[in-house]
A and B are shown apart, each in its own frame.
Chain A
């Protein structure tokens, strides 16, 4: 049985002062439904990926809230797995399709972050960390800074190599009309921006973003592009409990499962969308997914190999850094970027002859990782 992608919808990512969470979910959800060719009564289930909204706003029951406003009366649910909420929502939908319980499922990933102060968002995001990390005053930039410092010490990764991730992703974002930051930046700009947590600066970090992304999955109707693998792995929530600070084992485990499910290897993958919440995260992702040797991710990216038009384009959407990171929507947006690339609909950022792509969506510092492979 194939998990066919029938249609997608996505809002512009950015600061939507005039829209609330429901407005964003409706815009993306209705667009995905229209593009799928299905009517709302043909949808068997709605699965919503969201991390922060119930905690920050007090509004719970997001599954029914969004489904009912879309005119859908079937099953609805809300999936939360920190910044991997979107990827987990797609994984949950894939389970529903493959089990045979549902034929057509709408997945909506959505987050409304700009209604809250930076401090409130930072505190709410730390709900995805351990109690000990919160007591230590750590933040997610702080935790990824620890991983960056460990990688720099062990492998000689440089600040310039970290900055190269942000520079490349901003270039890709400059080609994406849905991106929050559609403009280019320089290595110097990254290095000279304000320090958040040593060695990570503001321009090493993904932003606070509003946005929604939606897809319709189906076993009943055929489509050109389908999901050939959907895999998830988990690990300790606290970073200190891991054996290594320079690896994300959940990425390695989920990737092994995904390649096994699809029957593909790294050589068959034409492009990646990975979770660059901070620049070091993209370096870790490329290494842990097996696209370069451990410790060589910085050099690999600095060589230009992951830029559009070169060996292995990574984050052609602009990634979390350039396109934005509405946390519950990110995992679904990654799927949409690969879907558009495989359909040949990515316009200025089109990867030529793309036949297979992989997405990696991370919760916390790697306590949850969702990986999907799309093919045509």
Chain B
């Protein structure tokens, strides 16, 4: 993506900071697209936020054994796919498990 495309993308990111939701469905990806080779295997799925909005996201800070349908998650902003040193770093929305009893991200 060009720098201007990434700039437009980053302008929307604040809307997703710390949003809570639930995990609807997920898969473990073993054969990745370009830029995701260093992550494999990794988890991606669809979450539904509390306002009803659904979003495809990467699920981080957990293993597939930690996941179950309707698992509480919270959105975080993380680096996206790997880019060359001279390219602009792309940040994207990801989610991680959220411990609702503790009111904080699950450790």
Contact = CB atoms under 8 A, between A and B. Distances in A.
A196 B30 contact: yes
B54 A241 contact: yes
Interface in B23-44: 24-37, 39, 42, 44
Interface string A136-151: 1111011001100110
B93 interface: yes
Contacts of B105: none
Nearest to B91: A135
B25 A197 contact: no
A133 B35 CA distance: 14
Given A137-B44, A197-B28, A119 B33 contact: yes
B46 interface: yes
Interface stretch (A38-46, A93-101, A122-130): A122-130
Nearest to A119: B34
Contact of B28 (A118, A131, A198): A198
B79 to A, nearest CB: 11
Contacts of A345: none
Interface residues of B, number: 32
Task: Name A's interface SS.
Answer: helix
Contacts of A137: 29, 32-33, 36, 39, 42, 44, 58, 81
Q: Bin chain A's interface residue count.
A: 20 to 34
Nearest to B59: A136
B31 A139 contact: yes
A134 B36 CA distance: 10
A18 interface: no
Contacts of A123: 33-35
B25 A245 contact: yes
Contact of A145 (B27, B34, B92): B27
B55 interface: yes
Contacts of A135: 56, 58, 80-81, 90, 92-93
A137 B56 CA distance: 9
B25 A133 contact: no
Interface in A198-239: 198-199, 238-239
Contacts of B90: 135
Given A130-B56, A146-B46, A238-B56, A138 B29 contact: yes
B32 A139 contact: yes
B25 A149 contact: yes
Contacts of B27: 142, 145-146, 149, 197-199
A197 B32 CA distance: 9
Interface in A87-116: none
Contacts of B56: 130, 132-133, 135-136, 138, 238-240
Contacts of B93: 135
A194 interface: yes
Contacts of A268: none
A126 B33 contact: yes
A195 B30 contact: yes
Nearest to B40: A137
A293 interface: no
Contact of B44 (A119, A136, A245): A136
B69 interface: yes
B103 to A, nearest CB: 26
Which of B9, B35, B55, B93 gathers most chain A CB within 10 Å?
B55
B94 to A, nearest CB: 8
A229 B54 CA distance: 36
A139 B40 CA distance: 13
Q: 8 closest Cβ contacts across the A-B interface?
A: A145-B27, A240-B54, A135-B92, A136-B56, A198-B28, A137-B36, A123-B34, A123-B33
Interface of B: 9, 24-37, 39, 42, 44-46, 54-58, 64, 69, 80-81, 90, 92-93
Interface of A: 118-120, 122-123, 126, 130-139, 141-142, 145-146, 149-150, 153, 194-199, 238-241, 245
Given A135-B80, A138-B29, 6 more contacts: A119-B32, A135-B81, A137-B29, A138-B44, A142-B29, A240-B55
